[in-house]
Amino acid sequence: MVTSIPLFNNFYHRFMKNFLLISLAVVFILAAGAFINPQSARVSGEVLEIEDRGGRIVEVPHEPEEVIAVGSGAPRNVLYFTGVENIIGVEEGEVGSDDELYRDYQLVYEELREKPQIGPNHGGDSELIARQDPDLIIHSGDVQDAEDLQDRTEIPVVYLDFGDLHKYRDVLFDDWRILGEIFGEEDRAEELIDFTEEIISDLESRGQEVTEEKRPEVFIGGMGHRGAHGLTSVRVPFPPLEFLDADHVAERELDFDTVTQANVDREQLMLWDPDYIFMDSSNLNLVYDDMDRHDEFAALKAVQKERTHTLLPYSSYHRQFSNILANGYYIGSVIYPEAFEDVDPVDRAEEIMEVFLGEPVFEEQQEFFPSFEQINLLEK
């Protein structure tokens, strides 16, 4: 018994020494592994595999800090998810004098006009883009153009489409989720989606309150598409009227499945003779020109009764989603006054813009295109 104690002590000390050495080695190995694991090193350095709208698998940096967005709708939608300081180059359409920059996001992010130009609208110039050396390019336009741009610049290019608020609403929402994943703003994507769905649901429920006999006939004219157009230019289906279940006279003849721009015959408009006419305010000057050229328009019932109203611009280098939703409230307040008696359309517009853009720009847009106004088309 007495002689066994030193042997036990020696064994115990050797065991503890080896145990400590092994433990330190394990800790060192684990720490070294964590250090070389990029996922643990820095989240913003993480590489994501993104399947874009064209079905391309693109490796992109997570939470990129230097971005260029090219193509119709790309700058607006990217700015829903990242700060303007992360945009390091812009197309020519983002730069100009104050009276030329009236897109909703341009009125919020005036810094864009100071950014380096990277070429013309609808895709920019690959050499100018490469010179800025962004972490990522978001491209909206043609999927092959996106692939070619990635080949020429050797910079990841994610192609997106941004859909619409009608048949391709799921495309829009999916693209928002892709941007949310890229920029680490998944919650922001869901916020936008939920808010948009709540607005549409509210408009739909108010429209459903109105009985068939109280639904006036409505015409929406002056719709721009790749340029300005006059009174007979329409978009069918027109999402705000769809939400409101309104009687859209143009849909009687133009049975399009997806939102489509078209021009109707003057004679057809006279035959419809709608109760109300709404116009995109960005083309109001061309509507007045039509009134001057075509005397028959003065006989329209809506013109005679001054049931003619202006709307916020539907699109400017792609759809202005906050404007489209806000227009639903103004139209509803005019054609269904009882169902919208608790709504101030201007207040609602500013609330919607603040969610989408970070601040309301209703008044700023008014300086360019007076909207939500009843006007007399017989007095220019």
Distance, CA of 219 to CA of 98 (rounded, Å)? 32
**In the chain, beta strands by DSSP E:** 47-51, 57-61, 67-70, 87-89, 136-139, 157-159, 217-221, 233-236, 247-248, 260-263, 276-280, 308-311, 374-375
Whether residue 353 sits in one domain with residue 269:
yes
Residue 178 lies inside a defined structural domain of this protein: yes
Residue 103 lies inside a defined structural domain of this protein: yes
3-state SS assignment for residue 236: strand
Neighbours of 9 (CB within 10 A): 10
Whether residue 228 sits in one domain with residue 369:
yes
Angle at CA of residue 44, ends 41 and 46, nearest 5°: 65
For residue 157, pLDDT over 80 is answered with yes
- The structural domain count of the chain equals 2
Q: What is the mean pLDDT of residues 139-145?
A: 96
Whether residue 316 sits in one domain with residue 281:
yes
Whether residue 361 sits in one domain with residue 258:
yes
Whether residue 178 sits in one domain with residue 58:
yes
pLDDT of residue 229: 81
Residues linked to residue 117 through DSSP beta bridges, in sequence order: 90
Q: What is the mean pLDDT of residues 150-174?
A: 97
For residue 3, pLDDT over 80 is answered with no
Whether residue 312 sits in one domain with residue 167:
no
pLDDT digits (tens, 9 = 90+) for 339-353: 999 999 999 999 999
Residue 36 lies inside a defined structural domain of this protein: no
Neighbours of 263 (CB within 10 A): 14
Distance, CA of 107 to CA of 75 (rounded, Å)? 13
pLDDT of residue 252: 85
Whether residue 232 sits in one domain with residue 85:
no
pLDDT of residue 227: 66
pLDDT of residue 50: 96
Instruction: Print the domain residue range for 216.
Output: 211-375
pLDDT digits (tens, 9 = 90+) for 207-259: 999 999 999 999 999 998 676 789 999 999 999 999 999 999 999 888 888 88
Q: How far is CA 339 from CA 47, 196, 201, 333, in A?
A: 50, 20, 14, 8
Neighbours of 132 (CB within 10 A): 20
Neighbours of 224 (CB within 10 A): 18
Residue 28 lies inside a defined structural domain of this protein: no
Q: What is the mean pLDDT of the chain?
A: 89
Whether residue 245 sits in one domain with residue 168:
no
Residue 7 lies inside a defined structural domain of this protein: no
For residue 40, pLDDT over 60 is answered with no
Whether residue 308 sits in one domain with residue 177:
no
Q: Which H/E stretch holds residue 70? A: strand 67-70
Whether residue 370 sits in one domain with residue 280:
yes
- 249: domain CATH number? 3.40.50.1980
Examine the fold and report which residue of 184, 203, 233 is the final residue of a domain before the chain moves on: 184
Residue 64 lies inside a defined structural domain of this protein: yes
Residue 190 lies inside a defined structural domain of this protein: no
pLDDT of residue 11: 36
Examine the fold and report which residue of 184, 219, 237 is the final residue of a domain before the chain moves on: 184
Distance, CA of 58 to CA of 65 (rounded, Å)? 17
Whether residue 329 sits in one domain with residue 258:
yes
